[in-house]
Amino acid sequence: MGGSKNVYASVKAYSKRGKLLTKSDFQTLAESRDLEELMTRIKNTVYADAVADVQKPYTSLNIESALRSKLADIHYSIAKTSGNSGVLDAYYMKFIVSNLKQILKGKILGKTQEEIEAHVNLHAEELIKQRDIVIKALVAKDFEEAVASLNSVEFGEEIAKAATLYNEKKNIQIFDTYFDKILYQHLAGAMKNYSDKEATKIVSMDIDFYNILSVIRGKFWGLQDEQIQDLIIVTSPPAKELLGRMMSAATVRDAFNELSSTKYKDLVPQVENELDAIAEFERAFEMSIYNTSLRSFTKMFSFATIVGITKLTSFEIRNLAAIAFAVEQKIPTETTMSKLILPEE
């Protein structure tokens, strides 16, 4: 990446970092009595333009869709400013992968095209002129046809594998994980070209997060070792060895215990219930990625700040979408706030 472009992109990242919402901003939004009040409050933040075109009657879905469009604009702009960056391109793929996931899961569940469309936002694809890929899958008459429509795209093989495993196990979460693999594989490939230690720290944490959770969930779902192995992205011999030991562990708890001699030892959950332990670990790890992203701003003009702001804006939009859903469902404010990814006091 060119030096001057890097400097300019880093300055933009600092500017965005200064405009991130605070905990009290989120608290105010979460306290909204209904979506009407939430929209009024969002319009008093930097996201006023993002939701300006949302039509009444408001729903959490159409608010989230508008925010996703804004996030695509932010990430597209960061990537353009930085020049050609494989890491940022890989993070941008998340929009496309997420849409394809929604479409194929919708087809599995027998939803109509209209029902699926409500969960799909094509703005990110429009920005990079990749809309056709997603549309083909969307208009396919069923799951098999949608999978077949994707066989010529660069990750068609992984999608076919995901479909085969789904047909065998009938577990929609395994399907989800395969799609995540597509994203993290691209990220791992792109990371090899960077020497910025702080930037690669965030990216490698993301890949560790995916790998460790894939092993843990694979054990929880009762997958065979070779099926779990197929989900993993090997980045280094020590990582391969650790993941191998986790796979060989007798239980989910034993697999977690393998982390007690690693840098992630403080994230190991203490609860006995396996499902609760997985959820607790996922949240702790995401908080750790969030905090590492915040710390990336200690070194001005580094690529780390650009990766950091990409992560932080994603967390921010996710928080806002969670609040919209919670306000719509009348979930208590304290419950909502406890689920958000925010700076620790």
Backbone torsion region of residue 43, taken as left when φ is above 0, otherwise alpha when ψ lies between -120 and 50, otherwise beta: alpha
CA distance 45 to 67: 12
CA distance 50 to 63: 9
Q: What is the pLDDT along the chain (345 residues), one digit of tens a residue?
A: 445 677 888 888 989 999 999 999 999 999 999 999 999 999 999 999 999 999 999 999 999 999 999 999 999 999 988 886 889 999 999 999 999 999 999 999 999 999 999 899 999 999 999 999 999 999 999 999 999 999 988 888 889 988 998 888 888 888 889 889 999 999 999 988 777 788 889 999 999 999 999 999 999 999 899 989 999 998 889 999 999 999 999 999 999 999 999 999 999 999 999 999 999 999 999 999 999 999 999 877 888 999 999 999 999 999 999 999 999 999 999 999 999 999 876
What domains sit in the chain, N to C, each tagged with a CATH number?
197-301 (1.20.1690)
The secondary structure of 267-288, three-state, reads HCCCCCCHHHHHHHHHHHHHHH
| pLDDT score at 3 | 59
